[in-house]
Structure 1
């Protein structure tokens, strides 16, 4: 067998790389959604000290390159704090924080899209601020935000390809390994690109179905 030949095991390698990419995408998306939503809730409650800090942090994260953030966490933090950060840990921290920043912006926009008259009317009827957030703001804001959130998640799936530069053996890294071994870049990167494409289409399909069901439910409730 020449060093340029493909083997059946290459399919296993691609599947493993895809599994790593999807696992990191799911984990960092979940963490980012929770953190970003909590940041938006802090802004909703207008916490004096935390709100400007969160706003500044979100602006910094969403307006700087993800690759630079990745290098800063992987190379900068160990040198600054004298701690050990593995490639997977650096990827988790960076992608989670970056996702949180964009979720925060989307959530804030969704909350601000709700008429202040509805909030004031709910307060007049005796609802606490938590009840207003839970029963008035959250359902409508979720229906408004789901479309942008789906688009964000599709983009974040593509962003996971950057983590290969720090040594995470994801789908892109496997593609790089196969490319160096087979010297057939067109075949290798076409296969890798198609795997990312179909994964992104699946995320978009799931998100669209969820959005349609949520909007139908909201319409039935008169939201």
Structure 2
């Protein structure tokens, strides 16, 4: 089979696999952001018991490979509970827990990167700690975290290839199935690699543009504040 015919025959299956890859990554990232915010806030808590829970979760997830986590959720938990878990559900849970631990560190770093004076000023205006955190600190932190969040999206997107071991027909698994039928390993892996590269390159461009846009907005706000002070 010539390469053009192979490409035409394989493209629909690979695009279907890519769609599943993007779906898993998107769902996992949404859940991971929620987990990251919760455990990031717990990690900066002054209560040792709350902070300890966050530290255990982060260290446990970051200290074990995603492959082991996926196997544990898909093969291990059903043996204990007796309930079979759908591969897609297991994949999303494993990837969400994995990315959530890294998101927690991103949120912790972003929140701690906001000047302490912002919280003090908000509290001096009568806002409670939680209100000041939600309305003042976190919005400022998110601006700094957006590039890191997109970078984690890219990492999670690549990590979905690991989930092929539990039977999810994402992009990598789709390529393996076609190779088993056609024996065209070089051409198929080249196609799969190019598809990953295109998506990740687009995300990288988006990250750089967002970072540039946020820096420009910050510069405009700083300039406006400066001229207000000068004209006062």
TM-score, scaled relative to structure 1: 0.90
- 1:169 is matched with which residue? 169
Post-superposition offset of 1:128: 1.7
Distance 1:162 1:112 in 2: 33
SS for the counterpart of 1:85 is coil
Query: Is 1:69 equivalent to 2:69 in the alignment?
Result: yes
Question: Which structure is higher in RCO with an 8 Å CA cutoff and minimum separation 6?
Answer: 1
- 2:39 is matched with which residue? 39
- 1:123 is matched with which residue? 123
Give deviations 1:71-104, integer Å, cap 9, x for gaps: 1111100011221111111101100111111000
Q: Which has the higher helix share?
A: 2
Distance 1:129 1:32 in 2: 24
SS for the counterpart of 1:84 is coil
> Measured at CA, do residues 219 and 140 of structure 1 come closer, stay the same or move farther in structure 2, by a change above 3 Å?
farther
Distance 1:87 1:131 in 2: 40
Structure 2 gap ranges (5+): 226-232
- 2:8 is matched with which residue? 8
Distance 2:216 2:36 in 1: 25
Give deviations 1:159-181, integer Å, cap 9, x for gaps: 00011111111110111111122
Structure 1 gap ranges (5+): none
- 1:18 is matched with which residue? 18
Give deviations 1:109-155, integer Å, cap 9, x for gaps: 11112222332232122222133213331122112212222221111
**Number of positions where the alignment pairs a residue of Structure 1 with one of Structure 2:** 221
Check conservation: 1:70, 1:94, Cα contact below 8 A: yes
Structure 1 segments of 4+ aligned residues over 6 angstroms from their partners? none
Root mean square deviation of aligned Cα: 2.2
Query: What does 1:94-109 align with in structure 2 at a 5 Å threshold?
Result: 94-109=94-109
- 1:158 is matched with which residue? 158
Check conservation: 1:139, 1:218, Cα contact below 8 A: no
